[in-house]
Structure 1
Amino acid sequence: MGEDKKEEVCCCCEKHKERSDKEYRDLMNRLKRIEGQVRGIQGMLEKDAYCIDILVQVSAINAALNSFNKKLLANHIGTCVAENIREGHDEVIQELVDVLPKLMK
């Protein structure tokens, strides 16, 4: 693993993905912002904030998670899927087809 790459190992399988520092930082920054938003909602709940105000913030978190998923999916298609297809591993297409319904709930 080089200095400009971060390797992420999936906790449920043997697959892994090397990410550039830029991609890694972008995804981590997005997750940290989402984490901060969740903590903000916890604070709102502790301070008995109005339900609608909390719901609006939950909606913002959902939008941020969807944005994270879109970015990760675009990166996945552009790298993992494309590379696997070029190498003749077409099963990656079915893997993608199987995960899309889970992302579209």
Structure 2
Amino acid sequence: MAEQPAVASDCQCGNSDHQHGYIAAKDAYLKRLRRIEGQARGLQRMVDEDAYCIDILTQVSAMTKALQSVSLELLTDHMNHCVVDAAAKGGDEAQAKIDEAMAAISRFVK
């Protein structure tokens, strides 16, 4: 298994009172993540009840797509907020945010 690059636990963008780009849609993100959590419980139930393999795989695919959708929206929010803010400031922070975003994108395409 490939080693994951270190990722900062929060995006400060050089400002202690910084708000993350997803804050405006936080409730929507939480609602979607709870729905995905329900899908995971449904998958567990399907396996426990010996559901047909293809039916389980179909649900795994749906859950995967839902997670990918949330991830891409979070990445978009990060790019439009944290990366744009850092780029406007310039310097090392800008390059660090671009590198961080590129690392996240590369994880999607692997």
What range is the shorter-chain TM-score in?
0.7 to 0.9
Could you say which structure has the higher strand fraction? 1
1:102 pairs, out of 85, 88, 107, with 107
Q: RMSD of aligned C-alpha atoms?
A: 1.8
- TM-score for both structures, normalised by structure 1: 0.79
What's the counterpart of residue 82 of structure 2? 80
**Aligned mates of 1:32, 1:55 — CA distance in 2:** 20
Cα distance in 2, alignment partners of residues 86 and 95 from structure 1: 16
Larger relative contact order (CA 8 Å, sep ≥ 6) = 2
Runs of 4+ in 1 over 6 A off after TM superposition: none
Gaps of 5+ in 2: 1-6, 13-18
> Paired residue for 1:90?
94
- Structure 1 pair 16/44, CA: closer, same or farther in 2 (3 Å)? same
- C-alpha spacing 1:21/1:15, structure 2 compared with 1 (3 Å): closer
Q: Deviations over 1:55-102 (max 9, x none)?
A: 000000010011001110110011000000001132211221222111
Shift of 1:32: 0.5
TM-score by length of 2: 0.76
Identity among equivalent pairs (%) = 37
**How many pairs does the alignment contain?**
94
